[in-house]
Structure 1
Amino acid sequence: MTDPSTVEAPPTCYRHPDRATYVSCQRCGRPICPECSTQAAVGVHCPECVREGRAAGGGGLARALRPRRSGAVTYTLMGLIVVAYALQWISGGGLTSAWVLNPTVVGAEPWRLITSAFLHSPGTIIHILFNLYALYAFGPALESFLGRSRYLALYFSAALGGSLGVLALYALAIATNGASVEATGGFLAPGSALGASGAIFGLMGAYLPLRRAIGVNVMQLLIVLGINVALGFVAPNIAWEGHLGGLLVGAAIGWVYLRTRRPAQRRVQVLGVAGIAAGLLVLFVLFVASAPVFYGL
């Protein structure tokens, strides 16, 4: 039996303390009940934030063009991705070769686990445009809700998780001496990978446990997520295993954030996220140590 004294009470609306709610204002993070919430482009806003937005003035177009208050990290990441893409072209493929996630050399060059998340296919601009749009669509609201440091921890841990997903397929081929590739008609064939998709799937994964707190329509999120997951399995040259790795890591970190959202749980939260990142690094070391010659050592 459960001791009632140990059951965590649900948060209550800051304007109506007698009303339990799991929905928070997308801008300030205060819990609000349906009566106090105003639907925004992403999530909902409390009455105070609505008034602040109206007091800021400007027409609809001006508000649309005004940078979001908490999107600085997202826009910086987008800028770095664009700069990296330009350098891929300027270097004649040199940067791509140096930063791409190539499993055969990643043991000696482990930075590729992260640098590959800033590269995109020079063969088609659709790859980078899709990821930039997805980052713009999902990033700012999550950054606003989590804060910059937690958002960055989520993004880079998910990027690492995506890279480990790619290496897991490579490790499976090594362990089975290629039998996994032959048995699936090449579906489980490992390869090199690049792109921010693993990190972006991590953002979408984090939305799943945090959806009620942020105020996201979960059906719309599941539709977008389902389409992207399906494309990874049916379209050629897409590292679906990287998407899956990022998604799982993002969901795990989102769950940690949800369960440790009180200020008094800050230390537990940091340790939980650090533990996930450390676990991924341990997994990488185990992959390399199991067959060092296959990883460039």
Structure 2
Amino acid sequence: MEQQPPQGPDTTAAGPGAPTCYRHPGRETGVRCVRCERPICTDCMIDASVGFQCPECVREGSGTGHHAAAVRPRTVAGGAVAADPRLITKILLGVNLAVFVAVSAAGRPLIEDLLLFGRAYSGDASAGIEGVAEGQWYRLVTSMFLHQEVWHIAFNMLGLWWLGGPLEAALGRARYLALYLISGLAGSALTYVIADPGQGSLGASGAIFGLLGATAVLMRRMNYDMRPVIGLLVVNLIFTFNPWGAIAWQAHVGGLVAGVVIAAAMVHAPREHRALVQYGVCGLVLLAVLGAVLARTAALT
């Protein structure tokens, strides 16, 4: 998925506004080190698990550089480089699988307790399942980890593994977890706002679509070939809006939009105010989700 830049030295003088390699000032480049973000040319960049690194950061990461103890390696979003770059992804997989096993053992009663419902009855509590409009806001979260069919959890967990691992390595654990949870909440909120309040909804699709949107943003930031992720997005949107399947398209769209917004803040925030911008945008998205839920609840009650 990576673009293959031309090899060999570039002796052309750099343009007035173009970034140049920090080791070879006469060479224009669109590639940056994923740790220190310094521009690097094709002769200096070293392939890493995510993107490219400069020679200094590679030496520091291996403990051979004289500044290795002083400089802590960082991801492209400013997060700490972890020894296990898929730890949070593995935990999220485990939680989803554990809930699936519990639901398979307990049956319909547990599904009804965790399912996303808006308002399933009018006046008589015995007429149906209570929902978010009755104050059960936890359903916005529990429905994100709930699956009923084997094919449903299989597709979602494959998407989580394929998309989540590289994103976790690129963003860092805390930022990646924030992206996943807020995207899932945004998907639940849009479903609650738009869908029939008597229609149940479940699945991690909102969070997975958030990861898909974030992957597109990250690949654009790293100057990778966008065609694979665009093709994957188109295929998923076709399945989302197909006329023959009972798919909660609201969760997909809500998660996708939230994922794109949060990822843009994660990878494009200025270094001097990086954490403020990143977590500030996360907070604003959460406020938007809360406002939408409150407004919908007021309308239903």
Which band: TM-score by shorter chain? 0.7 to 0.9
Corresponding residue of 1:96: 111
Pick aligned residue for 1:119 from 138, 146, 155? 146
Partner Cα distance (1:244, 1:68) in 2: 33
Residue pair 2:180, 2:211 contacting (<8 A) in 1 also:
yes
Per the TM alignment, residue 206 of structure 1 is displaced from its structure 2 partner at its CA by 1.6
Residue pair 2:193, 2:292 contacting (<8 A) in 1 also:
no
Comparing 196-205 with 270-279, which one deviates more in the overlay?
A: 270-279
Residue pair 1:25, 1:214 contacting (<8 A) in 2 also:
no
Residue pair 1:166, 1:241 contacting (<8 A) in 2 also:
yes
Corresponding residue of 1:209: 217
Pick aligned residue for 1:141 from 147, 162, 166? 166
TM-score by length of 2: 0.73
Render the CA deviation track for 1:239-272: whole Å, top value 9, x for unaligned.
Answer: 1111011001111111222331414332232222
Do structure 1's residue 165 and structure 2's residue 169 form an aligned pair? Answer: no
Superposed counterparts of 1:63-74, under 5 Å: 69-74=84-89
Do structure 1's residue 232 and structure 2's residue 240 form an aligned pair? Answer: yes
Superposed counterparts of 1:3-82, under 5 Å: 13=21, 15-16=23-24, 19=27, 21-24=29-32, 28=35, 30-31=37-38, 32-37=40-45, 43-46=50-53, 48=55, 69-82=84-97
Higher relative contact order (CA 8 A, sep 6+): 1
Query: Cα–Cα, structure 1 residues 113 and 12, in superposed 2: closer, same or farther, change >3 Å?
Result: farther
Residue pair 1:43, 1:214 contacting (<8 A) in 2 also:
no
Query: Cα–Cα, structure 1 residues 18 and 210, in superposed 2: closer, same or farther, change >3 Å?
Result: farther
- Percent of counterpart pairs with the same letter? 33
- Residue 106 of structure 1 aligns to which amino acid in structure 2? V
Residue pair 1:135, 1:200 contacting (<8 A) in 2 also:
yes
Partner Cα distance (1:21, 1:82) in 2: 44
Residue pair 1:116, 1:195 contacting (<8 A) in 2 also:
yes
TM-score by length of 1: 0.74
Per the TM alignment, residue 14 of structure 1 is displaced from its structure 2 partner at its CA by 5.4
Do structure 1's residue 155 and structure 2's residue 180 form an aligned pair? Answer: yes
Query: Cα–Cα, structure 1 residues 23 and 246, in superposed 2: closer, same or farther, change >3 Å?
Result: farther
Per the TM alignment, residue 215 of structure 1 is displaced from its structure 2 partner at its CA by 5.2
Q: Which runs of 5+ in 1 are unaligned?
A: 1-8, 56-66, 175-189, 293-297
Query: Cα–Cα, structure 1 residues 200 and 14, in superposed 2: closer, same or farther, change >3 Å?
Result: farther
Corresponding residue of 1:106: 132
Residue pair 2:187, 2:251 contacting (<8 A) in 1 also:
yes
Size of the aligned set, in residue pairs, is: 251
Per the TM alignment, residue 153 of structure 1 is displaced from its structure 2 partner at its CA by 1.0
How large is the Cα RMSD of the aligned pairs? 2.8
Comparing 80-89 with 101-110, which one deviates more in the overlay?
A: 101-110
Render the CA deviation track for 1:43-68: whole Å, top value 9, x for unaligned.
Answer: 43336587879x9xxxxxxxxxxx97
Q: Which runs of 5+ in 2 are unaligned?
A: 1-16, 65-81, 120-130
Corresponding residue of 1:186: none
- Residue 263 of structure 2 aligns to which amino acid in structure 1? G
Partner Cα distance (1:103, 1:22) in 2: 48
Render the CA deviation track for 1:146-192: whole Å, top value 9, x for unaligned.
Answer: 1111111111110011112212323xx68xxxxxxxxxxxxxxx721
Residue pair 1:206, 1:255 contacting (<8 A) in 2 also:
yes
Query: Cα–Cα, structure 1 residues 156 and 17, in superposed 2: closer, same or farther, change >3 Å?
Result: farther
Residue pair 2:218, 2:263 contacting (<8 A) in 1 also:
yes
Flag the structure with higher helix content. 1
* 3-state SS, counterpart of residue 192 of structure 1: coil
Residue pair 2:184, 2:207 contacting (<8 A) in 1 also:
yes
Comparing 76-85 with 160-169, which one deviates more in the overlay?
A: 160-169
* 3-state SS, counterpart of residue 33 of structure 1: coil
